[in-house]
Amino acid sequence: MSVQSPISSVNDFVVRFANVNGSGSASANELFARAILRHGVPVSPRNIFPSNIQGLPTWYEVRVTEAGHLGARGGVDMMVAMNPQTWDKDVASIEPGGYLFYDSTKPMPTSKFREDITVIGVPLTAITNSTYTDPRQRQLFKNIIYLGALCALLDLDPKLVEQLIGEQYKGKEKLLSSNVHALHLGRDWALQNLKCPLGLRVKKADKVGDRIFLEGNSAAALGAVYGGATVCAWYPITPSSSVAEAFTSHCKKYRHDPETGKAKYAIVQGEDELASIGIVIGASWNGARAFTATSGPGISLMTEFIGLSYFAEIPAVIMNIQRAGPSTGMPTRTQQCDVIACAYASHGDTKHVLLFPEDPAEAFEFAAAAFDLAERLQTTIFLMLDLDIGMNHRLCRPLKWDDARQYDRGKVMTAEMLDEGRDFGRYLDVDGDGIPYRTYPGTHPTKGSYFTRGTSRDRYARYSEEGAVYADNMQRLVRKFETAQDMVPRPLQANAAKPTKYGVIYFGSTSPAMDEAIGLLEARGHHLDRLRIRAFPFHSSVASFIADHDFVYVVEQNRDAQLRQLIVNENGIDPVRLVPILHYDGTPITARFIANAIGDHQDHLKVTPLRKAVS
Amino acid sequence: MTYIAKPKFHHPGLKKNDLGYTHRDYEGKISTLCAGCGHDSITASIIEACYELSIEPHRVAKISGIGCSSKTPDYFLGNSHGFNSVHGRMPSVLTGANLANRDLIYLGVSGDGDSASIGFGQFAHSIRRGVNMTYIVENNGVYGLTKGQFSATADRGSKSKKGVTNTDNAIDLVAIALQLGATFVARSFSGDKTQLVPLIAAAIRHKGASFIDVISPCIAFNNHAGSTKSFDYVREHNDAVNRLDVLVGRDPISVDYAPGTVQVVEQHDGSRLALRKLDADYDPHDRLGAQTFLQKHAAKGQIVTGLLYVDPDAEDLHTHLDTVETPLNTMDEKALCPGSAVLDKINASLR
């Protein structure tokens, strides 16, 4: 066996922490990620956690990436192995030449290690137990002690970590000083007993800029605050619960009347998803901006109401933080698997608007836009996040808001308009865009009232089972959906450096991995034009992008190529021209996966000249 | 049928209420229910109650689920917005509507299938939350629109029109509403307008979750011998605990009740409920007592009607959520959007 030299890399490596769920490791690990950011080096952290409260294995992965690749990379350069349960698998997952950091208090047989990795033992339990007596303190400070040791090993500036601890425990001096003390316990031990730093190290850079670091769910909730949502009804479900929780905490800060202290919002935790969407539809019918947040199983439960929203034309915003299905599936794993379920949710002929943000910044923008779209189009708007964007901190551009921006409340007929003698037909297409006027309940003593129903009715909202009347209404709904095409965020195209016959379509959380994969593919001599779809219904540029290329890869995180199906179905595209690239094991898609899958496909296409092949 | 336009003319001498509206201003489209349906009598009582209370007709939101009862909001208050929503989901739609605009009056109309079967959960949770509403169940113990299946309020041992005996236990929505903390609980009978009109009026004036179970015989599928929701059965087994007058700063609605003790309950909005007690023992402020009273009479095969419980100092969901007085649906970006300066600070805190 050849001797494997240790990996040597500055600002470009992956550290994975293997912990036990509920051991308080999450905050120490997050501190590690933030500390590297403070060095001006981008990081992309991911929680890999079980559907469990305490006891099961959990991992936290930090990709240190000066180049700014924010997708998951795959592979582990350094494993911080704090969980005996997963030891064997964790050790096996380290890249050749990588590093294993472990608690060496209890000796381990050499068979438990690998020869091609560097093993770093720190007697964490021994250090902790000689310093602390309280079991809870021992548990928590052990995490900070390993963070301290990592500081020394990876050459982090302890001042920057101390500064972060200071911000976290501002006003809580006792906690602050004890955390700083624990940090130095670990750091000093490593400096005295180990060769520091390692081949992996962090060096100050200036690559973070003014970017911010937040979770997609929190960003979407903030978008709802800025977008004027006043009613939120929800039912707890992973990975969406933190949307409603974040909305609650944002509202507590920004939505209380300064004079009376009263709330300019109403949040109800429903008894189930049916009630949640029912409350949203009732509130929206009555002119408030309302939303719910859920995940796949919740969408299944809400579908009857979604059909009502479509047919009776009531605005609604549903944030779907997708997780791996079907059924209960893998509740804590990511997928983009509800594209079809949401696009065509409910019985009968229905179609819904979907928005696909790529990161927290877009989650904020699209969440705010969703309320304008819902009221303008008088229908359900789905904000399609997933666990990868929703529950992980992601570096993204700062959030922006134009103070001159006014909410688009859509076509609402007021008492004044009714008094002017305007003809009010609730389902009357006066402008040719398929969108009728609505009135809010209580508008006028004698004009503008109507009976909202899920049954068929004519243009003036009068019950009707006449075939022609029904078909007229269904056709108008198609017209309305066509109008939506030009209102939703357009696809973004990025062309390859060289002219190419091949393209790639992708969406949502695949974005950072795709951007990185393009570089990897270029290195292999494959050039691709890119189109990032940001909404459904598809803008006409989707069809023209496909027409402009011999064939197009469609990269997505589900088994059945759902976006591809939707493109084929809605645009009448020959399926042969769309090559599915599918990743659906519940982990976030990586650049390596995309580059390998597309690269292998492209290699087969390279025509070998006949003469060369026979010689 | 609804395609027949209802004539707009009315007698010039028709009485007007305090707002100058006649009875006709509270009517809706012509009912499409079977002639003689108990639900139409309830519709008439709702119209009467709204007229008597001088409610502005357009300030009511009528919300229902699916079923015969849920069609009725089209037949009253034609100038109000109505919402015939999804089967069993009226309570959630009403809750949302109420959160959006606390200034309207919310009338939820549902049936026994809608509230005791498919929507039992939503019924329970809207009551639990104390949504300010008048929740009326038009209870006939049967699925009319699908032609005569038992509902969850059908009594055990009662017979369907086809002769099938119900072996499942019945749900008493009044008992459940009491247990769940409804602050106004009543039962009545569609054929007893004298009792029902003031109950609806009082429920509308009540600030909190008001629930009225109205036994309403289905003349097509549940008005035969062996049914416990037929006109004859209910008339024979009705035991009224009290008769009610609602006084809103003017003459009582009606005074020709049987003599007895009178108890006056003052509600939060200043309206007074005068209860003419038929049962001397009955105290409408005792939730526990009401539950016991109900169970005792049910065991004897008696249907207790009247105002069973009222909490005049009830709170509603808006009080619990401490929402602003201004309806949420009237707020614009000035009131709701924190603006770019705040966003800059948020950005700074995320670095």
pLDDT tens for residues B57-111? 999 999 999 999 999 999 999 999 999 999 999 999 999 999 999 999 999 999 9
- Report, as an integer, the average pLDDT of A270-296: 98
pLDDT in tens, A126-160: 999 999 999 888 888 999 999 999 999 999 999 99
Cβ contact A15:A149 at 8 Å: no
Which of A230, A247, A276, A289 has the highest number of chain B CBs within 10 A, making it the mutation to test binding with B? A230
- Report, as an integer, the average pLDDT of A437-465: 96
User: Is the ipTM value over 0.90, yes or no?
Assistant: yes
Place of tokens 């598809």: A538
Of residues A55 and B18, more confidently modeled: B18
Q: Among B79, B122, B323, select the one facing A275 at the smallest CB separation.
A: B122
- Report, as an integer, the average pLDDT of A252-256: 98
Cβ contact B311:B208 at 8 Å: yes
Q: What is the pLDDT of residue B178?
A: 97
Q: What angle do CA A56, A60, A62 make, to 5 degrees?
A: 170
- In angstroms, the Cα distances linking A367 to A254, A480, A489, B189, B232 are 17, 21, 12, 49, 58
CB contact under 8 A, A278 and B95: yes
Query: Which residue segment(s) compose the domain that A466 sits in?
Result: 411-488
Q: How many domains does chain A have?
A: 4
Name the amino acid, one letter, at A370. A
DSSP track, A266-294 = EEEE-SSHHHHHHHHHHHHHTT--EEEEE
The residue among B136, B160, B138, B307 whose CA lies nearest residue B221 is B160
Q: Among A225, A304, A444, select the one facing B86 at the smallest CB separation.
A: A304
Instruction: In whole angstroms, give the CA distance from residue B38 to residue B48.
Output: 15
pLDDT tier for residue B255 given thresholds of 50, 70 and 90: very low
A221 lies in a domain? yes
Interface of B with A in 83-112 (CB under 8 A): 83-86, 89, 91-101, 103-104
CB contact under 8 A, B58 and A214: no
Tokens of A451: 């009976």
- Report, as an integer, the average pLDDT of A96-107: 96
Give the distance from residue A420's alpha carbon to the nearest chain B alpha carbon, in angstroms: 18
- List the single range of A216-220, B250-254, B327-331 with lowest mean pLDDT: B250-254
| Last residue of one domain, picked from the residues A201, A231, A254 | A201
CB contact under 8 A, B96 and A283: yes
CATH at A94 = 3.40.920.10
Q: What is the pLDDT of residue A220?
A: 98
Q: With a cut of 70, say whether residue A333 has pLDDT above it.
A: yes
Tokens of A435: 């969108």
DSSP track, B267-327 = -TTS-EEEEEESSTT--TT-HHHHHHHHHHHHHTT-EEEEEEEE-TT---HHHHHTB-SS-
Q: With a cut of 90, say whether residue A283 has pLDDT above it.
A: yes
| A111 shares its domain with A193 | yes
- List the single range of A43-52, A464-473, B325-334 with lowest mean pLDDT: A43-52
A224 lies in a domain? yes
Cβ contact B103:B327 at 8 Å: yes
State the sign of the Cα–Cα–Cα–Cα dihedral A159, A165, A167, A171.
Answer: negative
Q: What is the 8-class DSSP label of residue A350? A: -
Place of tokens 């949770």: B125
| A191 shares its domain with A323 | no
Q: What is the pLDDT of residue B272?
A: 80
Place of tokens 């109008």: A483
Give residues with Cβ within 8 angstroms of B238, minimum separation 6.
B189, B192, B302, B303, B305
CB contact under 8 A, B82 and A446: no
pLDDT tier for residue B293 given thresholds of 50, 70 and 90: very high
pTM: 0.95
Give residues with Cβ within 8 angstroms of A360, minimum separation 6.
A212, A214, A215, A216, A218, A219, A220, A389, A394, A396
Which residues of A fall within a CB distance of 8 Å from B317? 266, 268
Cβ contact B128:B179 at 8 Å: no
Of all residues in chain A, the one with the smallest CA distance to B121 is A271
Of residues B273 and A44, more confidently modeled: A44
Angle between helices A273-285 and A296-312 in degrees, nearest 10: 30
Give the distance from residue B164's alpha carbon to the nearest chain A alpha carbon, in angstroms: 32
Of all residues in chain A, the one with the smallest CA distance to B2 is A463
CB contact under 8 A, A286 and B56: no
| A451 shares its domain with A525 | no
The residue among A368, A362, A370 whose CA lies nearest residue A386 is A362
pLDDT in tens, A531-579: 999 999 999 999 999 999 999 999 999 999 999 999 999 999 999 999 9
Cβ contact A47:A217 at 8 Å: no
Q: What is the pLDDT of residue B240?
A: 87
pLDDT in tens, A215-249: 999 999 999 999 999 999 999 999 999 999 999 99
pLDDT tier for residue B351 given thresholds of 50, 70 and 90: very high
Q: What is the 8-class DSSP label of residue A237? A: -
For residue A486, count CB atoms less than 10 angstroms from its CB and return exposed for 0-12, middle for 13-18, buried for 19 or more: exposed
| A219 shares its domain with A285 | yes
CB contact under 8 A, B58 and A444: yes
Measured distance between the N- and C-terminal CA atoms of chain A, rounded to whole angstroms: 37
Which residues of A fall within a CB distance of 8 Å from B339? 401, 403
Instruction: In whole angstroms, give the CA distance from residue A214 to residue A122.
Output: 32
Of all residues in chain A, the one with the smallest CA distance to B349 is A212
| A337 shares its domain with A377 | yes
Q: Is-cis flag, bond preceding B252, omega within 30?
A: no
| A484 shares its domain with A499 | no
Q: With a cut of 80, say whether residue A597 has pLDDT above it.
A: yes
Name the amino acid, one letter, at A464. S
- Report, as an integer, the average pLDDT of B197-204: 96
How many interchain CB pairs under 8 A, A with B? 230
| A331 shares its domain with A379 | yes
For residue A116, count CB atoms less than 10 angstroms from its CB and return exposed for 0-12, middle for 13-18, buried for 19 or more: middle
The strands making up A492-494's β-sheet, listed across from edge to edge, are A492-494, A529-533, A502-507, A551-556, A578-582
The residue among B123, B347, B133, B95 whose CA lies nearest residue A288 is B95
Q: What is the pLDDT of residue A607?
A: 65
Q: What is the pLDDT of residue A610?
A: 66
pLDDT tier for residue A1 given thresholds of 50, 70 and 90: very low
| A391 shares its domain with A443 | no
| A469 shares its domain with A597 | no
Give the distance from residue A1's alpha carbon to the nearest chain B alpha carbon, in angstroms: 46
| Last residue of one domain, picked from the residues A427, A459, A488 | A488
Round the average pLDDT of chain B to a whole number and report it.
90
Query: Taking the CA of residue A249 as centre, how many other CA atoms within 13 Å lie in the half-sphere pointing to its CB?
Result: 10
| A159 shares its domain with A290 | no
Q: With a cut of 50, say whether residue B251 has pLDDT above it.
A: no
CATH at A368 = 3.40.50.970
Interface of B with A in 44-83 (CB under 8 A): 56-59, 61, 63, 73-74, 78-83
Q: What is the pLDDT of residue B147?
A: 84
Which residues of B fall within a CB distance of 8 Å from A287? 100-101, 329-330
- In angstroms, the Cα distances linking B171 to A533, B151, B176 are 52, 9, 8
- List the single range of A251-265, A399-413, B145-159 with lowest mean pLDDT: B145-159
- In angstroms, the Cα distances linking A466 to A12, A417, A470, B1, B319 are 67, 30, 6, 15, 46
| A429 shares its domain with A471 | yes
- The topology (CATH level 3) of B23-349 is Rossmann fold (3.40.50)
Q: What is the pLDDT of residue B254?
A: 43
CA dihedral A259, A260, A261, A267 (to 10 degrees): -130
CB contact under 8 A, A449 and B342: no
A405 lies in a domain? no
Of residues A189 and B155, more confidently modeled: A189
Cβ contact A61:A19 at 8 Å: no
CB contact under 8 A, B86 and A405: no
A303 lies in a domain? yes
| A253 shares its domain with A189 | no
Cβ contact B308:B290 at 8 Å: yes
Q: Among A233, A254, A449, select the one facing B81 at the smallest CB separation.
A: A449
Q: What is the pLDDT of residue A612?
A: 64
A1 lies in a domain? no
